Amino acid sequence: MPAFGGLRHDFASPLARTFFFDSLLLSAVVNPAPPIRVGHDPREVGVGRAMNVNNSFWLDRWSAGQTGWHEADGNALLRQHWSTLGIPQAAAVLVPLCGKARDMAWLAAQGHPVLGVDLSDRAARAFFEENDLDYTVEADAAGQRFAGSGIQIIAGDFLSLPADRLGSVTGFFDRAALIALPPEDRVRYAAHLADGLRPGCRGLLITLAYPQADMSGPPFSVDDAEVRGLFGRHFGIELLTERDALAGNDHLRERGVTALVERAYRLERTSD
């Protein structure tokens, strides 16, 4: 699913450096490390901060078929709110950390050329094969490129993708990217989008928020204050909807989550 390589200090641009230093305090304030629960093994998923969520973590999940984040029927909020973004039908759309999301097929059916990026080539192959789509595989400077039916998926690290590769897109959809990243990588992710997306590019962002002490993630809790702190300098932000989502997430309740809010935002890249 996600593609990232942990915190590095060789930032690709002054904008990324600005995001990092301005957001360190924000991350510490809105994402304090939850305590280790007495009687629990800190290596257990969802408890404490010991889990190392990096590239190997996600590749192991794909190898083991542990893809509980995947929505077999696609995302309802995408279908509900996409048309409100006003993105032209033939405009290219980015789906970062896309996994094998069926949402890419839905976006393509709306007339959008789709660019997905995910670390796992298993995810890319699974997307095309599970949707009965013919595809080709070619070498790409950013990783393997899978393509067919108006959809391209780059199997590579999204945070290492050259920013100019994002300049051709007019829209983006993020349901499982931001919430898959630990705090320091969320800073890098927001900076990478700001670096690559053109002014006027609009997107739909979906987040989950829960009490920090309940679980350490993934999925990670990203509340409204953090969204505005990460994106507010370079994006217009509009909260479209929020709802209590705990009842429909048994697996998160089993991991100790006591309250869960799902939010959908409209983001628009502004001029610097």
pLDDT value at residue 36: 29
Label the pairing between strands 202-209 and 261-269.
antiparallel
pLDDT score, position 166: 96
Range in 4-8, 92-96, 192-196, 259-263 with the lowest mean pLDDT:
4-8
Q: Which of 56-65, 89-98, 133-142, 206-215 has the lowest mean pLDDT?
A: 56-65
pLDDT given for residue 265 in this prediction: 98
Buried b (16+ CB within 10 A) or exposed e, 197-214: beeebbbbbbbbbbebeb
Mean pLDDT (whole number) for 45-58 = 52
At residue 43, the pLDDT reads 28
Mean pLDDT computed over 195-220: 94
Mean pLDDT of the chain: 82
- Measured distance CA(220)–CA(200) in Å, rounded: 28
Residue 114 clears pLDDT 90, i.e. is over it:
yes
pLDDT, tens digit, 9 for 90 and up, residues 159-198: 999 999 999 999 999 999 999 999 999 999 999 999 999 9
Confidence of residue 67 (pLDDT cuts 50, 70, 90): low
- From the centroid of its chain, how far is CA 73? 18
For the chain, the DSSP string reads --------S--SSHHHHHHHHHHHHHHHHHSPPPPPPTTS-TTSTTSSS----SHHHHHHHHHHT--TT--TT--HHHHHHGGGG---TT--EEEET-TT-THHHHHHHTT--EEEEES-HHHHHHHHHHTT---EEEEETTEEEEEETTEEEEES-GGGS-GGGGTT-SEEEESSSGGGS-HHHHHHHHHHHHHHSPTT-EEEEEEEE--TTT---SSPP--HHHHHHHHTTTEEEEEEEEEE-GGG-HHHHHTT----EEEEEEEEEPP-
pLDDT band at 12 (very low <50, low <70, confident <90, very high): very low
* Residue 201, pLDDT above cutoff 60: yes
How far apart, in whole angstroms, are the C-alpha atoms of residue 124 and residue 157? 13
Q: What is the pLDDT of residue 96?
A: 96
267, 205 contact by CB (below 8 A): yes
Most confident of the ranges 16-20, 45-49, 123-127, 189-193: 189-193
φ, ψ at 215 (rounded to 5°):
-165, 145
Q: Does domain 14-64+74-269 fall into CATH 3.90.25.10?
A: no
Domain residue limits, the chain: 14-64+74-269
Highest-confidence range of 6-20, 224-238, 249-263, by mean pLDDT?
A: 224-238
What local confidence, expressed as pLDDT, does residue 62 receive? 56
User: What pLDDT is stored for residue 34 in this prediction?
Assistant: 39
Task: List pLDDT tens digits, range 142-165.
Answer: 999 999 999 999 999 999 999 999
Q: What is the pTM of this model?
A: 0.79
Task: Give the CA dihedral 264, 204, 162, 102, nearest 10 degrees.
Answer: 100
Residue range 5-18: mean pLDDT, rounded: 40
Instruction: Lowest mean pLDDT of 168-172, 216-220, 262-266, name the range.
Output: 216-220
Contact yes or no for 85/132 (Cβ under 8 A): no
